């Protein structure tokens, strides 16, 4: 942690004003340096007040996501330790890809943008990412996995996100195979996994993760054929994007590390508990066909097993809805 980050961390945890002298001792730097760090924190958008004869107080954290604001909540070694923040970009996947091409895409780096002007979901579908209202992110992951072991990672990530949202807001999140996060049947987030690999080695996985956080009802559901929600709609208390981003980093790093060493089997039971689909009649549309049957569960590769009249079918990806319901997601 840099001195500036440490200073912010002290201020965040303090219950009363901290004197410049005390900070100077704690960090082992001059009073002048402390004054410079405080100035720099203010420039980042933090409200720091200097109370005469008492010291500094943090009145309000910057709402801008940054390494400084996120790191006090991190329990990770790599995830979100590098944070690439943008006001706007075409899509965070695009930016992450550019960083990789330039050789700057280290493991655990997260790209966060306040807005995406060309955000994409699965199958190139549009993903609305309105300014400042969500967490629009791409995480660069270079896991210790062979390429053929990678596919279930989307499901592992979905579980980690459900946990991160639950620990931050108390909300129970369901998972819709393979890559959607739902609250009471309404979409609150999604995952777009992009693999870059040679036959021997995963070069990188780009985890595109979008979470609706602060949108109001009327912003989300102008198109009545889709049902979406945000954490703010579902939660009584205000949702802190900074804490949520840190919780995502913590859960992602832990889950992916476990997946590397123990594989998907370790997640199977927990995953099925978060799914609303297992044991029910479903309609599944893949890139090639539409089938109907009973969703039996997942195999060890994370593929969905569907019992049809012609036997058990194995789906690697697709859109699955409970039969008889409208397909309300895109």
The contact set with a copy of itself (CB under 8 A) reads 94, 97-98, 101, 122-123, 146-148, 151, 154, 178-179, 192-201, 203, 287-288, 316-318
Residue 134 or 302 having the CB closest to a copy of itself = 302
Tokens (6 digits) for 269: 């039971």
Residue 41 or 192 having the CB closest to a copy of itself = 192
Residue 49 or 203 having the CB closest to a copy of itself = 203
Distance of closest approach, residue 276 Cβ to a copy of itself, in angstroms: 20
d(CA 82, CA 77): 10
Cβ(227)–Cβ(185) below 8 Å = yes
As to burial, measured by CB atoms within 10 angstroms (0-12 exposed, 13-18 middle, 19+ buried), residue 262 is exposed
Residue 183 or 204 having the CB closest to a copy of itself = 204
Phi-psi region of 278 (alpha: psi -120 to 50; beta: other; left: phi over 0): beta
Distance of closest approach, residue 187 Cβ to a copy of itself, in angstroms: 17
Distance of closest approach, residue 204 Cβ to a copy of itself, in angstroms: 10
Distance of closest approach, residue 288 Cβ to a copy of itself, in angstroms: 8
Tokens (6 digits) for 85: 């923040």
Residue 103 or 238 having the CB closest to a copy of itself = 103
Tell the residue number behind the tokens 């959607």, with chain if given.
Answer: 180
SS3 282: strand
Distance of closest approach, residue 98 Cβ to a copy of itself, in angstroms: 6
d(CA 194, CA 249): 18
């Amino acid at each position: 942690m840099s001195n500036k980050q440490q200073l912010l961390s002290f201020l965040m945890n303090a219950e009363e004003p901290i004197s410049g002298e005390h900070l100077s001792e704690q960090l082992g730097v001059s009073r002048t340096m402390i004054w410079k760090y405080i100035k720099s924190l203010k420039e980042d958008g933090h409200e720091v007040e200097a109370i005469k004869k008492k010291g500094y107080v943090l009145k309000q954290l910057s709402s801008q996501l940054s390494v400084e604001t996120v790191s006090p909540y991190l329990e990770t070694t790599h995830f979100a330790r590098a944070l690439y923040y943008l006001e706007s970009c075409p899509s965070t996947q695009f930016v992450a890809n550019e960083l990789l091409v330039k050789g700057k895409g280290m493991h655990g780096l997260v790209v966060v943008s306040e807005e995406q002007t060309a955000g994409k979901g699965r199958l190139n579908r549009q993903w609305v990412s309105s300014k400042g209202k969500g967490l629009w992110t791409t995480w660069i992951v270079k896991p210790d996995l062979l390429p053929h072991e990678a596919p279930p990672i989307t499901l592992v990530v979905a579980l980690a996100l459900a946990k991160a949202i639950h620990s931050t807001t108390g909300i129970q999140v369901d998972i819709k195979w393979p890559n959607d996060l739902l609250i009471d049947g309404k979409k609150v987030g999604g995952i777009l996994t992009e693999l870059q690999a040679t036959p021997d080695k995963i070069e990188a996985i780009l985890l595109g993760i979008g979470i609706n956080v602060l949108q109001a009802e009327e912003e989300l559901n102008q198109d009545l054929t889709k049902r979406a929600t945000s954490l703010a709609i579902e939660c009584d208390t205000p949702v802190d994007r900074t804490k949520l981003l840190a919780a995502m980093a913590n859960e992602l790093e832990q889950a992916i590390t476990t997946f590397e060493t123990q594989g998907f089997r370790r997640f199977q039971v927990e995953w099925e508990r978060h799914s609303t689909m297992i044991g029910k009649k479903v309609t599944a549309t893949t890139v090639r066909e539409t089938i109907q049957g009973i969703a039996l569960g997942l195999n060890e590769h994370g593929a969905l097993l569907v019992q049809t009249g012609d036997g058990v079918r194995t789906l690697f990806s697709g859109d699955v809805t409970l039969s008889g319901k409208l397909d309300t997601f895109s």
